[in-house]
Amino acid sequence: MFYWLMKYVVIGPIVKAVWRPWIVGRRNIPAEGAAILASNHLSVMDSIFLPLLIDRPMSFLAKSDYFTGKGLKGWSTRMFMKATGQIPIDRSGGKASEASLNTGLQVLGRGDLLGIYPEGTRSPDGKLYRGRTGLARMALEARVPVVPVVMVDTDTMLPIGHTLPRIVRVGVVIGEPLDFSRFAGMEGDRYILRSVTDEIIVALQRLGEQEYEDVYASTVKERVAAAARAAAS
């Protein structure tokens, strides 16, 4: 009820009126049953516009930091995350990664839509980066299709480091579902997981025509941070 109220009464109408978002390929999302929506990640606003522009409710796996803030800002962020269907997860690795996987499988097990960013974090510069294999493992274990999704111009609307969004029209392009049933029962094979992940990233690159770099986005962010620290010392 809370999700519906935010999407159709409180947040949704305002966002649509101000930014006039567009969508292509909405029919590629299954009308029923579980599926993973695998999206590129340009801005924190991605998790708002994608759920807003599709007919079915969906959930995103979001880092737990968004749900633990204090004060008015922490409360408003937490409420906003819940309103947009996001689920807190610990992304520190190890057992936390296993817990995140199980959380995603629970969503899919209910027959719902689950949103995942294969790159694992926002792109620092608008490029598309190497995908993490957790998405592939989840898709194979749950035996669900993966729908490639490309967000357009959300990084122009809210660049990294900015707090106030610009009035820029943004869009969503949804590709045809990818079927990985040929790999059923092979979710324990790391080579298969890498192959599936790479196929998803290729589909995203073709759909959005982003420049691709075969390195993890988190690695690029670490390099940038290290360079900034060196320059400041």
Q: What is the pLDDT of residues 150-196, one digit of tens each?
A: 999 999 999 888 888 999 999 999 999 999 999 999 999 999 999 99
What pLDDT shows up at residue 20?
95
Question: Global pTM?
Answer: 0.89
Residue 69: CA atoms inside 13 Å, Cβ hemisphere, count?
A: 15
**Mapping DSSP to helix (H, G, I), strand (E, B) and coil, where does residue 121 land?**
coil
What pLDDT shows up at residue 47?
86
Using only C-alpha atoms, the chain has a radius of gyration, in whole angstroms, of 17
What pLDDT shows up at residue 81?
67
Neighbours of 182 (CB within 10 A): 8
Strands (E) in the chain, as ranges, are 22-24, 35-39, 58-63, 86-89, 113-116, 128-129, 146-152, 171-174, 212-213
What pLDDT shows up at residue 66?
64
State the amino acid at position 152 in one-letter form: V
What pLDDT shows up at residue 184?
93
What pLDDT shows up at residue 27?
96
Report, as ranges of residue numbers, the positions in the chain whose pLDDT lies below 50: none
Query: How many Å apart are CA 203 and CA 114, to the nearest integer?
Result: 18
Query: What does the longest C-alpha to C-alpha distance in the chain come to?
Result: 55
CB neighbours of 150 closer than 8 A, spacing ≥ 6?
A: 39, 40, 172, 173, 174, 175, 204, 207, 208, 210
Contact 180, 139 (CB under 8 A): yes
What pLDDT shows up at residue 172?
98
What pLDDT shows up at residue 163?
82
